[in-house]
Structure 1
Amino acid sequence: MDVCVGFEVHQPYRLDRGFVKEKAEGMQPEELFEVYFDSDWNREILNRVAEQCYLPANEILLQNIEKFEDEDGCFKVAISISGTLVEQLEKYYPEVLDSFKRLAKRENVELLGQTYYHSLASLYSIGRREFLEQVRMHEDCMENSFGCEPKVFENTEFLYNNSIAKTVSGLGYEGVFTEGAERVLGWRSPNYVYQAVGSDIKVFMRNYRLSDDVGFRFSNQDWNEWPLTAGKYAAWLSEAQGQCVNLFMDYETFGEYHWPVSGIHDFLRHLPGEVLARDNLRFANPSELLNHDSVDRVNVKDYDTVSWADENRDTSPWLGNELQRVCYKSLKELERPVKKSGDENLLKIWRLLQVSDHLYYMALEGGSAGEVHGYFSQQTAKEAFRAYSRIVSDFREKVLNYLS
């Protein structure tokens, strides 16, 4: 059984929650970034996540890769890192970017393709022109920053349908990750390789139960399996049936969502050894999963797009309420005037406003899903909506004035 471990690594540029129109009065396009986005807040969060997660987790991964590379089994991981995070690391924390570069140089580490701005551009239109541009931007980023050319794709938050798969296949990708949701698989298991309907691209389904045992439940002391040890988890993996078990989670799981005191770093440190101690398990990178034959096709129509977010595993975390849909519509309508302007600064701002996190912060769900949204945004949905609306409204005015 192949064990494929993947991490999504992303940080947005967070908006200035106190923005008012007067702050941007008379400003030129190249000045807008400083008033629309909260650089101090972004730097503060990035510094904390870097110290608690990125630096220690990267070091643990590198140590394990080196520890097992000369043995019969070896440790392998896949990383999907957004362009917005690479930019911020270059600006605020180059030593963290260097640590990712050291990982990327190892043949057991595979970088995945995604949208540069971690956006919802794959949902914009049938042609998906903006999506194509952002994917190409991300490919250039992976080449320029890490010397890598991705073969397998992980769309923003695992957003997937037949049309997206066909578009990604047309870009030359051979495989794509998405969620192993029951409404897609039915009675079938996520632990097999599938093929998309309408294209030849192979589809790798995340085993969300096993992934979420780490991502969401690890430090929950009310969970009946707490504490989760690396040995216990490896035993669960060993009991799985199929071709592969795909474990994918936010990288911030390791030190930010679950703080170091929870033991999450020790779990990550000991997991490779426990997995490789099982004769029926081996680590595999996504490109190696392409060697498996597809056992069936998965059919996900455009109106039933799947994601890995919240319990419904659809687009509702970003488009589930009227606040989000109003903002989404306003953003899409700006594409033509922004691109008509030909101004790179306006185009950059528009794309930064596409980062999926902004709409995610406006979700109104209660319960555990609401707690997750609140943790990320540190504000109410209505506060997030008001800040975003003020900025998009001012930005629209600036674009139209630029064109007049």
Structure 2
Amino acid sequence: MKAICLYFQVHQPLRLRRYRFFEIGNDHYYYDDYTNESITQKIAKECYLPANAILLNLIQSLKGKFKLSFSITGLALDQFEHYAPEVIESFQMLAATGYVEFLAETYSHSLASLNNKDEFAAQVQTHSQRIEKLFGQKPKIFRNTELIYSDHIGEMIAKLGYEGILAGGARQLVESNKPNYLYSNFINPNLRVMVKNKRLSDAITSRFSDKNGLTAEKFTKLLNKGNQNGNIVNIFLDYEIFNENQTKNTSMLNFFTELPKVILSNTEFEFATFSEIVKNQEPIGAINMPQPVSWNKKEDNLSAWQGNDLQKEASRKLYILRNSVLRVDNDHINMDWKFLQSSDHFYYMSNNFFTDGDIHNCCSPYNSPYDAFINYMNILSDFKNRLTELNMHKAEAIPGYEYQKV
């Protein structure tokens, strides 16, 4: 029997307010609360709640034959808790069925895996603890921010005790038609690696814009036609696929209402969670990815988040501050540190932002990448000044923070 692993990523960016240069040192609050609350509540009503209701009904009606996985960022959970607690309750109902797996993440939806291994480990641990507390599951499988994966990142995850990790649709696997197998990490063979089937995942996200649309029957034909090789099909999707607009929202909900039943009736596939795959199947070999890959729509690299000098400078300045944050250990500082690491801030600085097609970031709050950079750096300057003041009694400056022109 072949397995299909359906996985949804749930994330809500925490949007920063417009923070001017003259506010540095005078105002230490950085967030656009009105926008964050209104968007979270709107998407909860139009996307998360109706989609969760449909999935719960499918799980109950198909009596164990339909399974899926979620990865919910800590930033999304924070905003649900404040603005839409009913969303957390609806995910708890899904968890209670026993047929939904919740994955580990970086708490802040951050790029820590690329910048600081200690921060990365700390965030993963914090996120797993939050998932276990909310949903009664200790995550066994890890999903990195933006599905970023490399041999080294996999090795770090193996050392943290996880059994498996998800990876973006690496070009070499897509071109050789080999994403449909279970692999092991190249450095640590104990870690299992599951790769996105880019063709079938993208078929769902893109076909609704085609004039002929996509039905459950059409997708099932694609599934049967393109997957004679391998024994796993990993469908990785952003959960906000249900929220593109009202017309598409309705059709996408209808599509997923029918899809599991059509697949089970017309294919040799069964639905499985990632933990079940890791437990029941053996890898065909090690996958070698020395350079990081992601689920970037245009490329499988990191260009959307670390592709220009603005992004690299902002990231460098941010992670220089980590040791000072740990020394201070202040609740307000820790909160801001957590929120400022979100990959969304760096994505808004990308030159290819408007053509990347990422669903949950389809509308930048900034006029340009440079505008995003300036706003972020103004906030980071104030944050750094607060750290300096709190560390003053130790007479410690923050090394490496001199300005570098970009």
Common fold by TM > 0.5:
yes
Question: Which of residues 336, 343, 359 in structure 2 aligns to 1:356?
Answer: 343
Return closer, same or farther for 1:188/1:275 CA change in 2, 3 Å cut-off.
closer
Question: Which of residues 58, 68, 73 in structure 2 aligns to 1:77?
Answer: 68
The alpha-carbon deviation at position 104 of structure 1 amounts to 1.2
Paired residues in the alignment total 386
Secondary structure of the equivalent of 2:350? Answer: coil
Return closer, same or farther for 1:360/1:367 CA change in 2, 3 Å cut-off.
closer
The equivalent residue for 1:58 is 52
Secondary structure of the equivalent of 1:177? Answer: strand
1:128-167 equivalences in 2 (<5 Å):
128-167=117-156
Q: Deviations over 1:8-53 (max 9, x none)?
A: 001121111x2125546456xxxx3xx2011111011111211111
1:122-271 equivalences in 2 (<5 Å):
122-125=113-116, 128-183=117-172, 187-199=176-188, 200-215=190-205, 217-221=206-210, 226-239=212-225, 240-241=227-228, 242-256=230-244, 260=248, 263-271=251-259
Please state if 1:344 is matched with 2:331.
Answer: yes
Secondary structure of the equivalent of 1:249? Answer: strand
Question: Which of residues 380, 383, 403 in structure 2 aligns to 1:392?
Answer: 380
Identify unmatched segments of 5+ residues in structure 1. Answer: none
CA contact (8 A) 1:52 1:260 kept: no
- Letter of the 1:345 partner, please give it: H
The alpha-carbon deviation at position 399 of structure 1 amounts to 1.0
Identify unmatched segments of 5+ residues in structure 2. Answer: 393-406
CA RMSD, 1 decimal? 1.9
The alpha-carbon deviation at position 394 of structure 1 amounts to 1.3
Return closer, same or farther for 1:122/1:95 CA change in 2, 3 Å cut-off.
same
1:372-383 equivalences in 2 (<5 Å):
375-379=362-366, 380-383=368-371
Question: Which of residues 91, 112, 120 in structure 2 aligns to 1:100?
Answer: 91
The equivalent residue for 1:113 is 104
Distance in 2 (CA, whole Å) between partners of 1:373 and 1:103 is 22
CA contact (8 A) 2:131 2:138 kept: yes
Return closer, same or farther for 1:262/1:58 CA change in 2, 3 Å cut-off.
closer
The equivalent residue for 1:328 is 315
The alpha-carbon deviation at position 391 of structure 1 amounts to 0.6
The equivalent residue for 2:402 is none
Q: Deviations over 1:61-99 (max 9, x none)?
A: 0010011016xxx11110000111111111111111110
Distance in 2 (CA, whole Å) between partners of 1:353 and 1:227 is 39
Distance in 2 (CA, whole Å) between partners of 1:149 and 1:113 is 9
**TM score, norm. by length of structure 2:** 0.90
1:287-298 equivalences in 2 (<5 Å):
287-290=275-278, 291-298=280-287
Question: Which of residues 271, 275, 279 in structure 1 aligns to 2:263?
Answer: 275
Distance in 1 (CA, whole Å) between partners of 2:221 and 2:297 is 27
CA contact (8 A) 1:52 1:259 kept: no
The alpha-carbon deviation at position 375 of structure 1 amounts to 1.6
Secondary structure of the equivalent of 1:47? Answer: helix
Question: Which of residues 319, 328, 336 in structure 1 aligns to 2:306?
Answer: 319
Return closer, same or farther for 1:359/1:68 CA change in 2, 3 Å cut-off.
same
Distance in 1 (CA, whole Å) between partners of 2:336 and 2:233 is 39
The alpha-carbon deviation at position 374 of structure 1 amounts to 6.5
Distance in 2 (CA, whole Å) between partners of 1:12 and 1:131 is 19
**TM score, norm. by length of structure 1:** 0.91
Distance in 2 (CA, whole Å) between partners of 1:142 and 1:371 is 25
Q: Deviations over 1:171-208 (max 9, x none)?
A: 11111110231235662510111111011201101001
- Seq. identity, %: 36
CA contact (8 A) 2:216 2:259 kept: yes
Secondary structure of the equivalent of 1:218? Answer: helix
Secondary structure of the equivalent of 2:235? Answer: strand
